C-alpha cells in the first residue's frame, strides 16, 4: 500500500540525531512475455514495492529498507538506518556533507505516446508469438528465434529532510528479437532490440516488430557466410548505437564523480582539451533531442531535478556527473545523477541518456573519404577501464574499400584508449538516434540507460584473427 | 521463519488449486542481512537489509501463468495467484508443461552458520575497513574504487500440487573489492576480486585485498607487443568467463532444444582435450550455490558433464526433461520473479597434475591473462576482447605487463587446444577452477 508523502516526512523528522534524511517509496510493476520455438518461456508479472530510508548521522550514511508501509514498520526501518549509520561513523575517514541542488517538489510523469495499458495482455502475448514465428519463417536456416516484450512501470515518492517532495511516474517498455541461424555445425545469432521511456508509439517509432524480425533473421543468415576480419588498427565508422556505447562505456564511466575521486583518467582535466573539437558529449535526464531515451529520469533518487549536463564541450572537459555528496566535494551543484534500481538499493552515481551532439557530415560523404576501413553496426556489450581503455562489440562489421562499403564480416570487438579515439574523430554525422536503450548498465545494481549520436568516424583497434 | 514460509507455500498452492488450475507451484524466499560498502578509499554506507518474495506458477488447460510479489501478506498472495491465472488464460498451450513429483533429497549439511544470524552491522563495517586497509597496506599506489562486505541468511521453500514440499536455510558471507594502481600519472587496469563462504570462521578478507593489490601493481607500466599466434595462460577468473560460462550455456538442455548450442549431437564425443574434467555439484558445500534441491524442488546430485574431455551429460529441469521424456537432473534455476530456467550450480573443473608455476615456466613465447574484457557468443562460441592484467612471457619468464592487446577466436575450439591444467584451483563464487594453458590463440596488438 502506498504511504503518503506526509507520513514519510513525519517518520524522517521523528529522530533529531540525523543531519539529513531521505525516504523513498518505490513500487515497480514489471511484466515480461518471452517466446522461443513457438513456446512461451516467460509470461510473468512482478510486483516489487517497499520503502527505503537513507540517513546521515555524524557524517556517515546509514540505509535500511522495508516492505512494511504502516507507520510502526516505517519507524522501525528508519531507526535501523540510524543505527547502522552510527555503526560506521567511527570507521569513516571523510565525513559526508551534501552540496546544493535543485530539489524537486510536485508530480513528474514521463511522456507516454500510446499508453502501455491500452494494449491488453492477450495482445502483447500474440504480438510476441507472431513476431517469433515471423523471424523463423524468413529462412530455413533460421532454426530458432526468441522474441520478448518487457515493461517496467515505476511509481515513486521521494521526500528529504531539506525540502524535496516529489511523486514520480515512469514507463519503460522494451522489445527484442533474436534469430539463430545454423548450417552444419556453424551457429550464428543476430538480434534487433529497442528500449524506450514512453508508450507503444514511442517503442515502435523506428521500426515495426515484423521489420525487426526480418532484419534479425536476414543478418543471422548472412553471418553464416561471413569471414572474420583481420585484426589491427583501423579507421572505423560507428553507427549511432555504437556511438552511444562509446559515449557511455568509454567516456561516461570515467566522468562519474565517484570514479573520478578514486583516480580515473579524467581527474583534474576540467577545462582541458580531451577530444576533437567536433565532440560535444552530453548526459541528460530528459534530452531535448529525443524525449524517449530509455535512460530518461525527470527527478533523481535524491529528489534532485535531473539536469542536461554538458560533459565535453567542443572537445573541452566541462563537467563530471554528480550526486549531492560529490557535488559538495567539487563545489558545484548536483547534476541529478543519483539513481537506485529498486526500493532496496541506495542511490549511486549513474548515467542517464549519454550522447554526442550531431555534426555536419553526411553518412555517404564519411564513407567516401575512407580508402580502407570498417563500418561497425549494432552495439553488443562493452566495458571501459580506469585508464580509459575500452572495448565493445559490434554485431555487424563491413569492410570499406576505396570509399565503398563491401561485404558483411563477422562481428568484432573494437578497443582503444577512449580519449585518444575521441581526439582522432574527424567526422560527426548530422543524423541522430539513441541506440542502446534495450540494455542495462551494471555497477553494483542495474540501471536503464541510453546512448546515441550521429554516425562518427575515428580510429580504433579491431580484434580480429591473426592468420 | 522457515515454518512460516513452508505454510505460506502450501497455502498458496491450495488457494491456486481452488481456481481450477491443473498444477500450481509456490517458491518463497526470505533473507535478512547487513552489508557495508566502500567507495573511494573510504567506508561509504552501511545497510541493513530484509527482503522476501514469492513466485507463483500455475498450469491451466496446459497453459503457463506466472506472477510474483515481494509482499507476503495473504491478501497480496491471493491477488498474485489471480494475476498468474489471468496470464495462463492469455497464453498459448504447451503439452510439455509439468511440475516435478516429490523425490528423496540428499543431505547437504553445513551451509548454515548461526553466527550469521547474530552478526552486528558494526562487524561488517570492521571487515570492509580491514579489506580496504590491507589493499592500501600492500602498496601505497593501490587505490580502491569500491567494495563491499556483507552477510545474509536466506531461507527458501517450494511447494507444489503434487505434494512436493521442501525448505532450506543457508548463510553467506561475501566480500568484493575493485580498484587500480596510480603511479605518477600512470593509471593501471582495474581489477576486481570476489570471495564468499557459508561460515564466519572462514571469512578472510586479507588475501582477497592482497590479490587485487598484486594484480593492479603488476599491470602498471604496460607495453605493447607484436601480433602473433601462441599459447595463453588463463587464470581461474578467465577460465570462468571465457570457458566455464559459455560451456555451462552450451550444455543446457534449453539451449540444445532451441538450436543455440553446438553440442546437440556431441554427447559421448570428445569435445575437449582429455585433461579436462567437469562436474556440476550442488552438494559441494564450499560452493556458494550448495543446496539440497533446485528451484522447483528436484533433488540436487553431482552430475559429471565432461570426463577426460568427453561430453557426458546435459542439464535438465522438469520442463526440458519432459520434452525429451526424461527426468530432471536438478538444474532448475532462478529466483522468485521468473519461471525457472536451466543452469549450473557449483561448477567444478578437475585439477591437473602440475603446479601453475611449472606450467608457466615452460612457455617459450606467450601471454598470461588475469581478466578478459570482451564479448562471447555462447551459441557460436565466437569471442573477441581485450586482455586485462596480462603479461608477456618469454622463455618462461614474465617480461612486462600488456596494453592494447586483444585475443579472439572460438571458445569451443579452445577446449580442444588445452595443453595444461594446473594442480592449484581457486574458488570463484560457485565455481572451483584451475588455471589453464591454451595453445595457438590469435593475439592482436594495436
Interface membership of B47 toward A (CB under 8 Å): yes
pLDDT number for residue A16: 81
Alpha carbon separation from A431 to A280, A428, B326 (Å, rounded)? 14, 9, 54
In B184-243, the residues whose Cβ lies within 8 Å of chain A are: 187-190, 227-229
pLDDT number for residue A439: 85
pLDDT digits (tens, 9 = 90+) for A278-329: 999 999 999 888 889 999 999 999 999 999 999 999 999 999 999 999 999 9
* Three-class SS state of B335: coil
pLDDT > 80? residue A464: no
Please choose, from the candidates A53, A76, A133, A59, the residue with its C-alpha nearest in 3D space to the C-alpha of residue A329.
A59
pLDDT number for residue B198: 97
From chain A, the residues in CB contact with B143 under 8 A are 262-263
B406:A231 CB<8 A = yes
pLDDT > 70? residue B85: yes
pLDDT number for residue B185: 81
In A178-197, the residues whose Cβ lies within 8 Å of chain B are: 180, 182, 185-189
Nearest CA in chain B to A224: B380
Q: What integer is the mean pLDDT of B414-436?
A: 95
Interface membership of A391 toward B (CB under 8 Å): yes
pLDDT digits (tens, 9 = 90+) for B126-175: 999 999 999 999 999 999 999 999 999 999 999 999 999 999 999 999 99
pLDDT digits (tens, 9 = 90+) for A181-239: 999 878 899 999 999 999 999 999 999 999 999 999 999 999 999 988 888 899 999 99
Q: What is the 3-state secondary structure (H, E, C) of chain A?
A: CCCCHHHHHHHHCCCCCCCEEEEEEEEEEEEEEEEECCEEEEEEEEEEEEEEEEEEECCEEEEEEECCCCHHHHHHHHHHHHHHHHHHHCCCCCCCCCCCCCECEEEEECCCCCCHHHCCHHHHHHHHHHHHHHHHHCCCCEEEEEEEEEEEEEEEEEEECCCCEEEEEEEEEEEEEEEEEEECCEEEEEEEEEECCCCHHHHCCCCCHHHHHHHHHHHHHHHHCCCCCCCEEEEEEECHHHHHHHHHHHHHHHHEHHHHHCCCCCCCCCCCECCCCCCCEEEECCCCCCCCCCCCCCECCCCEECCEEEEEECCEECCCECCHHHHHHHCCCCCCCEECCCCCCCCEECCCEEEECCCCECHHHHHHCCCEEEEEEEEEEEEECCCCEEEEEEEEEEEEECCEEEEEECCEEEEEEHHHHHHCCCEEECCCEECCCCCEEEECEEEECEEEECCEEEEEEECCCCC
In A64-93, the residues whose Cβ lies within 8 Å of chain B are: 64-67, 80-81, 83-85, 87-88, 91-93
For the record, the C-alpha cell of A367 comes out as 564513407
pLDDT > 90? residue B5: yes
B46:A386 CB<8 A = no
Strand pairing category for A338-339 and A105-109? unpaired
Secondary structure element (H or E) that encloses residue B209, with its range: helix B205-218
**Residues forming a β-bridge with A453:** A433
- DSSP letter at B251 equals T
* Three-class SS state of B188: coil
Nearest CA in chain B to A379: B375
Strand pairing category for B418-428 and A232-238? unpaired
Which of B40, B174, B231 is the best mutation test for A, with the most CBs of A within 10 A? B40
Pairwise CA distance, residues A303 & B335, whole Å:
31
The CATH topology of domain A5-224 is: PmbA/TldD fold (3.30.2290)
Nearest CA in chain A to B228: A466
A38:B125 CB<8 A = no
pLDDT number for residue B226: 93
- pLDDT tier at B404, thresholds 50, 70, 90: confident
pLDDT digits (tens, 9 = 90+) for A288-297: 888 899 999 9
pLDDT number for residue B2: 62
pLDDT > 70? residue A56: yes
From chain B, the residues in CB contact with A143 under 8 A are 259
Secondary structure element (H or E) that encloses residue B357, with its range: helix B356-361
Greatest Cα pair distance in chain A = 73
pLDDT digits (tens, 9 = 90+) for B208-221: 999 999 999 999 99
Pairwise CA distance, residues A223 & A189, whole Å:
8
Pairwise CA distance, residues A135 & A190, whole Å:
11
Pairwise CA distance, residues A342 & B335, whole Å:
16
pLDDT number for residue A328: 97
Pairwise CA distance, residues B17 & B73, whole Å:
19
* Three-class SS state of B296: coil
pLDDT number for residue A467: 59
**CB atoms closer than 10 angstroms to residue B307:** 16
Nearest CA in chain A to B406: A463
pLDDT > 80? residue B50: yes
For the record, the C-alpha cell of B258 comes out as 532451441
Which of A67, A89, A144, A460 is the best mutation test for B, with the most CBs of B within 10 A? A67
When the pLDDT of each residue in chain B is averaged and rounded to a whole number, the result is 95
pLDDT > 70? residue B275: yes
Query: CB of B152 within 8 A of CB of B33?
Result: yes
Alpha carbon separation from A416 to A355, A358, A467, B442 (Å, rounded)? 19, 22, 22, 18
Pairwise CA distance, residues B43 & A92, whole Å:
5
Query: CB of A282 within 8 A of CB of A358?
Result: no
pLDDT digits (tens, 9 = 90+) for B255-271: 999 888 999 999 999 99
> Going by C-beta distance under 8 Å and a sequence separation of 6 or more, which residues neighbour residue B400?
B221, B222, B223, B391, B392
Pairwise CA distance, residues A449 & A296, whole Å:
8
- pLDDT tier at B348, thresholds 50, 70, 90: very high
In B313-352, the residues whose Cβ lies within 8 Å of chain A are: 337-339
For the record, the C-alpha cell of B372 comes out as 578478459
Pairwise CA distance, residues B201 & B206, whole Å:
14
Nearest CA in chain A to B184: A263
Nearest CA in chain B to A44: B66
Q: What integer is the mean pLDDT of B29-49?
A: 94
Residue ranges per domain, chain A? 5-224, 232-462
pLDDT number for residue A290: 87
Residues B11-19: contacts with CB under 8 Å, at least 24 apart: B11/B74, B11/B77, B12/B54, B12/B56, B12/B77, B12/B81, B12/B159, B13/B159, B13/B160, B13/B161, B15/B77, B15/B78, B15/B81, B16/B56, B16/B58, B16/B81, B16/B84, B16/B85, B16/B161, B17/B161, B19/B58, B19/B81, B19/B82, B19/B85
pLDDT > 60? residue B1: no
Please choose, from the candidates B59, B97, B72, the residue with its C-alpha nearest in 3D space to the C-alpha of residue B6.
B72
Angle at B97 between CA B96 and CA B100, to 5 degrees: 110
- Report residue A220 CA to chain centroid gap: 25
For the record, the C-alpha cell of A208 comes out as 515495426
- pLDDT tier at A373, thresholds 50, 70, 90: very high
| High-pLDDT (> 90) share of chain A, % | 82
Domains, chain B, in order of start with CATH, read 2-215 (3.30.2290.10), 222-446 (no CATH)
When the pLDDT of each residue in chain A is averaged and rounded to a whole number, the result is 94
HSE of B58, CA atoms in CB hemisphere, 13 A: 30
For the record, the C-alpha cell of B379 comes out as 551459441
- DSSP letter at B6 equals H
Amino acid at each position: 500500500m502506498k504511504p503518503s508523502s506526509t507520513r514519510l516526512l513525519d517518520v524522517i523528522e521523528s529522530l533529531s540525531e540525523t543531519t539529513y534524511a531521505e525516504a523513498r517509496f518505490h513500487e515497480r510493476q514489471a511484466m515480461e512475455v518471452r517466446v522461443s520455438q513457438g513456446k512461451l518461456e516467460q509470461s510473468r508479472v512482478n510486483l516489487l514495492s517497499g520503502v527505503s530510508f537513507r540517513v546521515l548521522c555524524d557524517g556517515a550514511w546509514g540505509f535500511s529498507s522495508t516492505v512494511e508501509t504502516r507507520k510502526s514498520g516505517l519507524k522501525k526501518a528508519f531507526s535501523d538506518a540510524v543505527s547502522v549509520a552510527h555503526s560506521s561513523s567511527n570507521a569513516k575517514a571523510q565525513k559526508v556533507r551534501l552540496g546544493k541542488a535543485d530539489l524537486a517538489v510536485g508530480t513528474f510523469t514521463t511522456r507516454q505516446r500510446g499508453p502501455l495499458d491500452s494494449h491488453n495482455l492477450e495482445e502483447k502475448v500474440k504480438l510476441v508469438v507472431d513476431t517469433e514465428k515471423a523471424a523463423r519463417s524468413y529462412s530455413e536456416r533460421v532454426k530458432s528465434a526468441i522474441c520478448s516484450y518487457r515493461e517496467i512501470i515505476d511509481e515513486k515518492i521521494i521526500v528529504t529532510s531539506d525540502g524535496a517532495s516529489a511523486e514520480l511516474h515512469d514507463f519503460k517498455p522494451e522489445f527484442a528479437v533474436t534469430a539463430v541461424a545454423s548450417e552444419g555445425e556453424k551457429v550464428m545469432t543476430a538480434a534487433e532490440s529497442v528500449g524506450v521511456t514512453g508508450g507503444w508509439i514511442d517503442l515502435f517509432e523506428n521500426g515495426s516488430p515484423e521489420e525487426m524480425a526480418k532484419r534479425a533473421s536476414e543478418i543471422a543468415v548472412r553471418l553464416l557466410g561471413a569471414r572474420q576480419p583481420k585484426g589491427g588498427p583501423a579507421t572505423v565508422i560507428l553507427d549511432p548505437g555504437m556511438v552511444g556505447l562509446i559515449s557511455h562505456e568509454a567516456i561516461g564511466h570515467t566522468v562519474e564523480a565517484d570514479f573520478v575521486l578514486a583516480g580515473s583518467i579524467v581527474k583534474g582535466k576540467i577545462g582541458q582539451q580531451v577530444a576533437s573539437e567536433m565532440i560535444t558529449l552530453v548526459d541528460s535526464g530528459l534530452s531535448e533531442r529525443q524525449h524517449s531515451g530509455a535512460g530518461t529520469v525527470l527527478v533523481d533518487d535524491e529528489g534532485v531535478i535531473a539536469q542536461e549536463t554538458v560533459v565535453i564541450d567542443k572537445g573541452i572537459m566541462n563537467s563530471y556527473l554528480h550526486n549531492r555528496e560529490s557535488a559538495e566535494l567539487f563545489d558545484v551543484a548536483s547534476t541529478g545523477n543519483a539513481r537506485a534500481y529498486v526500493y532496496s538499493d541506495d542511490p549511486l552515481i549513474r548515467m542517464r541518456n549519454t550522447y554526442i551532439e550531431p555534426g555536419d557530415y553526411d553518412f555517404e560523404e564519411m564513407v567516401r573519404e575512407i580508402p580502407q576501413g570498417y563500418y561497425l553496426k549494432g552495439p553488443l556489450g562493452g566495458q571501459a577501464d580506469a585508464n580509459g581503455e575500452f572495448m565493445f562489440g559490434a554485431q555487424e562489421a563491413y569492410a570499406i574499400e576505396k570509399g565503398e562499403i563491401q561485404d558483411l564480416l563477422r562481428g568484432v570487438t573494437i578497443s582503444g584508449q577512449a580519449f585518444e579515439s575521441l581526439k582522432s574523430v574527424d567526422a560527426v554525422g548530422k543524423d541522430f538516434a539513441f541506440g542502446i536503450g534495450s540494455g542495462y548498465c551494471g555497477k553494483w545494481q542495474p540501471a536503464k540507460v541510453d546512448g546515441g549520436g550521429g554516425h562518427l568516424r575515428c580510429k580504433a583497434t579491431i580484434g580480429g584473427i591473426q592468420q | 521463519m522457515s515454518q512460516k514460509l513452508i505454510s505460506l507455500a502450501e497455502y498458496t498452492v491450495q488457494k491456486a488449486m481452488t481456481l481450477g488450475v491443473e498444477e500450481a507451484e509456490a517458491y518463497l524466499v526470505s533473507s535478512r542481512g547487513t552489508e557495508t560498502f566502500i567507495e573511494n578509499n573510504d567506508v561509504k554506507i552501511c545497510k541493513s537489509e530484509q527482503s522476501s518474495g514469492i513466485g507463483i506458477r500455475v498450469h491451466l488447460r496446459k497453459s503457463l501463468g506466472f506472477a510474483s510479489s515481494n509482499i507476503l501478506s495473504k491478501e497480496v498472495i491471493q491477488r498474485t495467484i489471480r494475476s498468474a491465472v489471468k496470464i495462463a488464460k492469455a497464453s498459448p498451450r504447451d503439452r510439455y508443461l509439468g511440475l516435478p513429483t516429490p523425490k528423496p533429497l540428499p543431505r547437504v549439511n553445513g551451509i548454515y552458520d548461526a553466527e550469521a544470524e547474530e552478526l552486528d552491522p558494526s562487524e561488517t563495517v570492521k571487515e570492509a575497513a580491514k579489506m580496504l586497509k590491507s589493499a592500501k597496506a600492500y602498496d601505497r599506489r593501490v587505490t580502491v574504487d569500491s567494495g563491499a562486505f556483507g552477510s545474509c541468511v536466506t531461507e527458501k521453500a517450494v511447494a507444489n500440487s503434487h505434494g512436493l514440499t521442501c525448505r532450506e536455510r543457508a548463510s553467506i558471507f561475501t566480500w568484493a573489492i575493485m580498484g587500480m594502481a596510480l603511479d605518477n600519472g600512470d593509471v593501471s587496469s582495474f581489477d576486481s576480486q570476489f570471495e564468499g563462504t557459508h561460515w564466519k570462521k572462514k571469512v578472510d578478507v586479507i588475501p582477497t585485498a592482497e590479490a587485487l593489490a598484486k594484480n593492479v601493481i603488476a599491470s602498471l607500466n604496460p607495453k605493447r607487443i607484436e601480433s602473433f599466434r601462441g599459447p595463453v595462460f588463463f587464470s581461474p577468473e578467465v577460465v570462468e568467463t571465457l570457458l566455464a560460462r559459455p560451456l555451462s550455456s552450451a550444455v543446457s538442455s534449453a539451449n540444445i532444444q532451441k538450436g543455440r548450442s553446438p553440442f546437440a549431437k556431441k554427447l559421448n564425443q570428445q569435445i575437449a582435450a582429455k585433461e579436462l574434467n567437469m562436474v556440476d555439484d550442488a552438494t559441494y558445500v564450499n560452493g556458494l550455490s550448495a543446496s539440497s534441491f533446485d528451484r522447483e524442488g528436484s533433488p540436487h546430485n553431482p552430475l559429471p558433464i565432461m570426463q577426460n574431455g568427453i561430453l557426458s551429460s546435459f542439464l535438465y529441469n522438469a520442463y526440458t526433461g519432459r520434452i525429451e521424456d526424461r527426468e530432471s537432473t536438478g538444474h532448475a534455476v532462478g529466483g522468485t520473479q521468473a519461471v525457472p530456467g536451466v543452469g549450473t550450480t557449483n561448477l567444478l573443473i578437475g585439477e591437473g597434475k602440475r603446479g601453475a608455476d611449472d606450467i608457466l615456466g615452460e612457455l617459450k613465447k606467450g601471454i598470461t591473462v588475469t581478466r578478459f574484457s570482451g564479448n562471447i557468443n555462447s551459441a557460436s562460441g565466437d569471442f573477441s576482447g581485450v586482455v586485462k592484467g596480462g603479461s608477456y612471457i618469454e622463455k618462461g619468464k614474465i617480461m612486462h605487463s600488456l596494453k592494447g592487446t586483444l585475443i579472439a577466436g572460438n571458445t569451443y575450439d579452445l577446449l580442444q587446444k588445452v595443453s595444461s591444467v594446473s594442480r592449484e584451483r581457486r574458488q570463484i563464487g560457485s565455481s572451483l577452477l584451475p588455471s589453464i594453458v591454451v595453445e595457438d590463440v590469435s593475439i592482436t596488438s594495436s
